[in-house]
Amino acid sequence: MEQYQKIWDKIKYQLQMTLDDDVYNEHFFGISNVFKVINNTIYLISPNSFIKSKIESFYLNRLNAMLNEYLPEKHLFKIITKEQAAEEIAKTSSYEINVPEPDLESKYKTGLNNSYTFDNFVVGSSNRLAYTSAMKVADQPGVVANPLYIFGDVGLGKTHLMQCVGNYIIENDVNKKVLYVKTDQFIEDYAKAAQKKAFDDFSKKYENVDILLVDDIQFLSGKTQSQLEFFKIFEKLKESNKQIVITSDRPASELYEIMSRLTSRFEWGLSVDINRPNLEHRILILKKKLQAETSDPDLIPESILDYIASIFDNNVRELEGALKRVLFYCTAFDYKFTIANAEEALKNLINSKNISNKTLESSNFNNVLDIVSSYYNISTSDLLSKKRKKQYVFPRQVSMYILKELFDLTYKKIGQIFNNRDHSTVIYSIEQIANDMQIDSIKKSDIDKLLVKCGKKA
Ligand code: ADP
Ligand code: MG
């Protein structure tokens, strides 16, 4: 039951991220608890029949699709009203939540989501090393790098890549026992075993595996008993050349309140990091996600994918969320896929991103504009203007490049600074300068100097 509640909490969070605030608040905010689960049907209680029927007509398919991303077996949501729930409770004098007993004979549970495959993981410079390392490990588990330790910020593909390893191994040999577990789950399993003082099932689950995938190991922080237990399991598996893959939000050396004999072992094998994807990489990811969402790969024009990729530059999960939001908004209301509609669909997300940009002092930008315009002997207003003479265009492109380099502003934001220019102009300008710097060493050294003047650490 707890498992279903956690999934519902996650789905709710996803909905909150992808729906407009008022839509979310009206339909989903009030649905907190999973009422019961019977025969793979998960019951949720809506406040009234009006909301129940709105959810059923507009959102239920989507909810079910989201649900099945979390569970290996097909499950469905069912929405009932408060009154229906009250009736049910009245009928059963001692109300019991009815979760089917897990079938003991049922096949070995891996915890894997089989949609995470190498095929749909898009490779670029930010993740190439992690990807090739994971491939090698999947090809020869226990041999090339043990443990494989993958780290990086949230939403950059660690879980996806780790699960690729498990899915690949099972696909090639169904007899291999793979176990994917989130660190939270490990801690919970251990606590349950300790409470009952019965460790058999626990040990069986974690020690009788060929491949152990442990996600988000940073959550072991401060959990001394679980760490000791994990240490024992680690030693056992490692000794018998069973493959271990670990993910974390930081390098092993920076883990906090985790005993050093564990963190040092994490460094025994191979540590690889995943970084933020660049613009081209983000566009490729969007194309791949679009392929998975729809049968028509040209449904959304490229200019809109560029637009989404230029704004959501931080995290692949957000990027994917933005795409789904645009898809949903335009298909649900039968709108054309235009920049204006995409902007409307993403309004709330973009606004909340701008708030964080505001924390950057605007005086910093002005400083850059002053330095660049005086370097090229033009006025700041010419720099910001739409005048197309070469003497203005080049310095303008240079200042856009510097703003991106130093402040990592979104293309949209830079466009706004320059008299509301379109984000595509900004992307073009920055690429132009990056090219110039590759082929023209004089320009490169000029711009490098300017970067330092504007505050880049030499
Ligand atoms: P993390 O575990 O690092 O927080 P996830 O693995 O959960 O991130 O990734 C978040 C979302 O982004 C997932 O839906 C995942 O499929 C997607 N994703 C991340 N990186 C890639 C990539 N390189 N190619 C395709 N999808 C990706
Ligand atoms: Mg993850």
Whether the Cβ atoms of residue 401 and residue 454 lie closer than 8 Å to each other = no
Helix, strand, coil proportions of the chain in percent (round to 5)? Answer: 60, 10, 30
CB 259 within 8 Å of CB 225: no
Q: Is the C-alpha dihedral spanning 108, 113, 119, 123 positive or negative? A: negative
| Among protein residues, the one whose CA lies closest to atom 19 of ligand 1 | 157
Distance CA 433, CA 398 (A): 6
Q: What percent of the chain has pLDDT over 90?
A: 53
Report residue 432 as tokens: 């132009």
Q: Which among 379, 423, 433 is positioned nearest to 401, based on CA atoms?
A: 433
pLDDT digits (tens, 9 = 90+) for 321-330: 999 889 888 8
Taking CB atoms and a 6 Å cutoff, what residues make up the pocket around ligand 1? 120-122, 127, 152, 154-160, 285, 288, 316-317, 320
Contacts 24+ apart (CB under 8 A), 64-70: 66/11, 66/14, 67/7, 67/11, 67/42, 69/113, 69/115, 70/7, 70/10, 70/11, 70/113
pLDDT in tens, 309-345: 988 888 999 999 999 889 888 887 888 999 899 988 9
Model confidence at 100, in pLDDT bands (50, 70, 90)? very low
For residue 120, which atom of ligand 1 is closest to its CA?
25
Decide if pLDDT at 8 tops 60. yes
- Structural domains of the chain, with CATH: 2-101 (3.30.300.180), 118-273 (3.40.50.300), 279-350 (1.10.8.60), 361-453 (1.10.1750.10)
Residue nearest to atom 14 of ligand 1 (CA): 317
DSSP code of residue 120: G
For atom 13 of ligand 1, the residue with the nearest CA is 317
More confident residue, 26 or 200: 200
* Stretch 178-202: mean pLDDT: 94
